[in-house]
């Protein structure tokens, strides 16, 4: 019955359990006549109870109950009970009464004592239903969790894959702009991009990476952006705490930084980008604050593209109930605060 173990092992385990159950009354009550008389009296009932249990467990439940043929199942069970009771009644009439030399032998079939075996028979059927339904529920629940896990991994893989083209689109535009200007920074930008690509194509494929690796990736990204904007923006990246033993999902923080550079750079006004990473007490806190341009052409937060929507969805999947994401917008600033419970 359990596909993970040989069938004969399952039979042996069931045999031991049933023998133990049928011997409990003998051990507790110590009936007259000893073990031989006790076995004679319970012989037919015990064997039929075990037989009905297996028939119900292996055939009737899968064929009728699982296929929602409830009426047929009930009728088959009732017929099985009647036949079993008749067999036990005949056993008492032709075997037990003869061996024990009964002076009064009740008429066989539909006598008053014919329905005595109903209780153990019904108990065997109930036990079979309970165990089989319990195992079926466990199997379905396991499959549901596996499917849910596969769906989750597929969705995460899709969301992660969206990060790469989104980032590459902006970065290649930056390098293209430098190339058009024939800037000496073009080569440096390409080298930085190659370092970033190496991380995205290797380490980011892992389930988790060290926070130090993610920080190095952010630094490379920021340095690449500095080449593009030169000294036009005040940029600060502060790190506090020991990050050596912390593991996080790769490419989780970059959308906030990328969004800050998308909205925090102005060539006409004074602008700034402040990034801070704090770790300690089993928590990670990541804050990004950047200025935004004034006027009608200043982009709004809801226009930030797939980046923030993407990372919000990933956080829901990866840290359900274990993260806080606060995003605020004022007339002059964007503010993002992410807090993740790492334990």
Gap between the Cα atoms of 199 and 336, Å rounded: 25
Model confidence at 141, in pLDDT bands (50, 70, 90)? confident
Residue 286: what pLDDT?
Answer: 96
Does the pLDDT value for residue 21 go beyond 80? Answer: no
- Contact call for residues 232 and 271 (beta carbons, < 8 A): yes
- CATH number of the domain within which 263 lies: 3.30.565.10
Residue 323: what pLDDT?
Answer: 92
Residues 182 and 296 placed together within one structural domain of the fold: yes
Does the pLDDT value for residue 228 go beyond 80? Answer: no
Residues 107 and 188 placed together within one structural domain of the fold: no
* Span 306-319, average pLDDT: 77
CB count within 10 Å of CB 199 equals 18
Residues 188 and 319 placed together within one structural domain of the fold: yes
Residues 214 and 318 placed together within one structural domain of the fold: yes
Which range has the worst mean pLDDT, 102-106, 186-190, 198-202, 281-285? 102-106
* Span 221-246, average pLDDT: 83
Region label for 295, one of left (φ > 0), alpha (ψ between -120 and 50) or beta (otherwise): left
Residue 73: what pLDDT?
Answer: 93
- Per the domain annotation, does 235 fall within a domain? yes
- Contact call for residues 319 and 252 (beta carbons, < 8 A): no
Residues 210 and 323 placed together within one structural domain of the fold: yes
Model confidence at 20, in pLDDT bands (50, 70, 90)? confident
Residue 30: what pLDDT?
Answer: 60
Does the pLDDT value for residue 6 go beyond 90? Answer: no
Distances 73 to 116, 146, 263 between C-alpha atoms, Å: 23, 31, 68
105: three-class secondary structure by DSSP: coil
Gap between the Cα atoms of 196 and 201, Å rounded: 9
Domain count, the chain: 2
Contacts of 19 (CB under 8 A, 6+ apart): none
Residue 166: what pLDDT?
Answer: 56
Does the pLDDT value for residue 340 go beyond 90? Answer: yes
Which one has a higher pLDDT value, 278 or 30?
A: 278
Does the pLDDT value for residue 235 go beyond 70? Answer: yes
Residue 190: what pLDDT?
Answer: 84
Residue 243: what pLDDT?
Answer: 86
Which one has a higher pLDDT value, 291 or 343?
A: 291
Task: Count each helix (H run) and each strand (E run) in the chain, helices first.
Answer: 9, 7
Residue 170: what pLDDT?
Answer: 66
Residue 278: what pLDDT?
Answer: 95
CB count within 10 Å of CB 278 equals 15
Residue 149: what pLDDT?
Answer: 64
Q: What are phi and psi of 69, to 5 degrees?
A: -95, 65
Beta strands 271-280; 233-240: pairing state: parallel
Adjacent-strand bridge partners of 340: 284, 323
- The last residue of one of the domains, among 116, 143, 168, is 116
Residues 110 and 165 placed together within one structural domain of the fold: no
- Per the domain annotation, does 2 fall within a domain? no
- Contact call for residues 174 and 186 (beta carbons, < 8 A): no
CA 148 to chain centre: 6
Residue 2: what pLDDT?
Answer: 46
Region label for 283, one of left (φ > 0), alpha (ψ between -120 and 50) or beta (otherwise): beta
Does the pLDDT value for residue 210 go beyond 50? Answer: yes
- The last residue of one of the domains, among 66, 99, 116, is 116
* Span 42-68, average pLDDT: 87
Residues 278 and 200 placed together within one structural domain of the fold: yes
* Span 269-289, average pLDDT: 91
CA 117 to chain centre: 45
CB count within 10 Å of CB 253 equals 24
Residues 176 and 307 placed together within one structural domain of the fold: yes
Residues 204 and 81 placed together within one structural domain of the fold: no
Gap between the Cα atoms of 160 and 251, Å rounded: 7
* Span 46-51, average pLDDT: 85
Which range has the worst mean pLDDT, 7-21, 204-218, 233-247? 7-21
Q: Which two tokens stand for residue 152?
A: 């989750």
Q: Which of 291, 290, 279, 276 lies closest to 218 in space, CA to CA?
A: 276
- Contact call for residues 295 and 259 (beta carbons, < 8 A): no
Residues 185 and 98 placed together within one structural domain of the fold: no
Which one has a higher pLDDT value, 246 or 197?
A: 246
**What pLDDT, in 10s, does the model give residues 145-192?**
775 665 566 555 655 655 556 557 767 887 887 788 887 878 878 888
Model confidence at 1, in pLDDT bands (50, 70, 90)? very low
Residue 295: what pLDDT?
Answer: 54
Model confidence at 200, in pLDDT bands (50, 70, 90)? confident
What mean pLDDT, rounded, does the chain reach? 79
The pairs formed by 147-155 with CB atoms below 8 angstroms and a separation of 24 or more are 152/317, 155/313, 155/317
- The conformation of residue 181, written as its DSSP 8-state character, comes to T
Residues 234 and 337 placed together within one structural domain of the fold: yes
Domain that holds residue 334: 154-341
């Amino acid at each position: 019955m359990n596909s993970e173990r040989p069938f004969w092992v399952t039979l042996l385990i069931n045999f031991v359990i049933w023998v133990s159950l049928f011997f409990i009354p003998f051990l507790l009550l110590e009936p007259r006549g000893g073990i031989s008389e006790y076995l004679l009296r319970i012989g037919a009932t015990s064997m039929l109870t075990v037989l009905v249990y297996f028939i119900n467990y292996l055939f009737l439940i899968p064929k009728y109950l699982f296929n929602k043929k409830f009426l047929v199942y009930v009728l088959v069970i009732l017929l099985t009970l009647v036949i079993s009771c008749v067999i036990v009644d005949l056993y008492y009439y032709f075997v037990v009464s003869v061996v024990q030399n009964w002076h009064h032998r009740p008429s066989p079939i539909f006598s008053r004592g014919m329905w005595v075996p109903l209780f153990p028979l019904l108990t065997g059927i109930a036990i079979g239903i309970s165990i089989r339904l319990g195992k079926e529920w466990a199997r379905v629940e396991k499959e549901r969790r596996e499917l849910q896990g596969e769906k989750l991994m597929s969705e995460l893989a899709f969301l992660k894959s969206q990060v790469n083209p989104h980032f590459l689109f902006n970065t290649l535009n930056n390098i293209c702009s430098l190339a058009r200007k024939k800037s000496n920074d073009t080569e440096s930008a390409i080298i930085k991009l190659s370092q970033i690509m190496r991380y995205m194509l290797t380490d980011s494929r892992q389930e988790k990476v060290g926070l130090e690796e993610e920080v190095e990736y952010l630094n490379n990204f920021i340095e690449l952006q500095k080449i593009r904007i030169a000294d036009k923006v005040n940029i600060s990246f502060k790190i506090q705490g020991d990050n050596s033993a912390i593991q996080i999902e790769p490419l989780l923080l970059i959308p906030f930084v990328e969004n800050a550079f998308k909205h925090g750079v102005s060539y006409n006004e004074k602008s700034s980008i402040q990034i801070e990473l704090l770790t300690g007490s089993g928590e990670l806190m990541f804050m990004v604050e950047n200025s935004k341009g004034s006027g009608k052409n200043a982009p709004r937060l809801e226009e930030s593209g797939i980046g923030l929507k993407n990372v919000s969805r990933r956080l829901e999947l990866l840290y359900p109930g274990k993260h806080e994401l606060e995003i605020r917008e004022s007339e002059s600033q964007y503010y993002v605060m992410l807090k993740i419970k790492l334990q």
